[in-house]
Amino acid sequence: MALLPKTLRFWLFDTLSLRTVRYVEAVPRHKARGLVAEVYDMITDDFFINGSLTSRSKVPLLLAAIWSAGRETALVDDHLDRTTKEAMTATLSSINDCPYCGDMLVSLVHAGDRHDDARQILSEREDQITDPLLRERLLWVRAVATPGAEPPTSVPFNDDELPEAIGALMALSDINRFSHIVMDGSPVKAPWSLDAIKAAALWLFGGELRATHTSPLQPGRSLTLLPPAELPADMHWAASHPRIARTLAQWAAAVEQQAQGVVPAETQQLVHARLKGWQNEAMPISRYWVEAETEGLEGEARDIGRFALLVAKASYQLDDEIIETILGDKRDDERFIRILAWSTFTAARHFANRIAGLSTTQATARQVA
């Protein structure tokens, strides 16, 4: 049960999250205008304002795109219920090393009244979840997302559920990578360093977030934020679900448009080529691999290529020096957000395409059997 008034509750969450934002500055709520204000109002109605979303607000189209993609794939109850998707993306966030996302999503699982499941996810003990279907789904997420892990032998979703499951994982894969860089950890940290105290804090946060679960969200509400776009060929796995196909197409179009002029064409081509054949193998501890993979590029094109490949394959190897190179002397928030958003979207896009291909192969094998 929530203890704080709604206005104070969501002001507190926004304030706590902004304390951890780095490298960029979010547009304050009271200064938001136009599309940013429209998105902020919708987030307030349907979810809660937080730094993982508002950190893109200097580029309104990218803010609208990530909000719509996350809302329509993960927050709307559809073939999969919202809490199941929040549990799946909480597990994904722990694999992708995004403490802020992981803690927020564990709190949302508590908000969905799945308290024991939330505790097991926080402790990375998904194999001890008692609900057999949820346990299978979370272990499947671990198998498809953990670098170097053996791929799963079956897919725990039917054909109607699969676009929604992959779409939610794609959206949070992007948010994880973006937040890993711009959010300096979770606000639920020292002095709350003891596991039991942290678990209790997330349970309390879940009580405050219970209000976000009381009414199902209207499907498709966010699709009016951006113009229609064509679904890219590599996202064909979403085509059977019109709403998800539309939001992903809009997201892709917004990212590609905003990348123009800041991410060189030769960098884009090289990064796509390097990710196309990558099957989520664990990368070497040293960063020598990224130097080899960006041979042929020079200057800024190579800097951005190196950054994008690290974001996709080994974000834990990013450091201040590499990030400062992308920020540049002018420390242009908007330019940095556009480069980062292209990098995180490209990583998430290839991740989704890989697991969609794996899932289709398994589905075909089931039909043959």
**Chain segment 205-239, per-residue pLDDT in tens:** 788 788 888 889 999 999 999 999 999 999 999 99
Residue 65 · residue 254 · CB < 8 Å: yes
- Note if the pTM is more than 0.85: yes
**Token pair of 274 as six digits:** 């390097």
Residue 21 β-bridge partners:
183
Per-residue model confidence as pLDDT tens digits over 286-338 = 999 999 999 999 999 999 999 999 999 999 999 999 999 999 988 999 999 99
- Which tokens belong to 321? 């020096």
Hey, what amino acid is at 44? T
> How far is 11 from 278, CA to CA, in rounded Å?
42
Write out the two tokens for 39.
Answer: 């998105």
Q: In this predicted structure, what is the pLDDT of residue 202?
A: 87
* Angle at CA of residue 142, ends 165 and 48, nearest 5°: 55
pLDDT of residue 201: 83
DSSP structure class, residue 277? T
d(CA 137, CA 15): 33
CA-to-CA distance for 24 and 208, rounded, in angstroms?
28
Model confidence band, residue 197 (pLDDT cutoffs 50, 70, 90): confident
Separation in Å, CA 16 to CA 20, 51, 174: 7, 9, 22
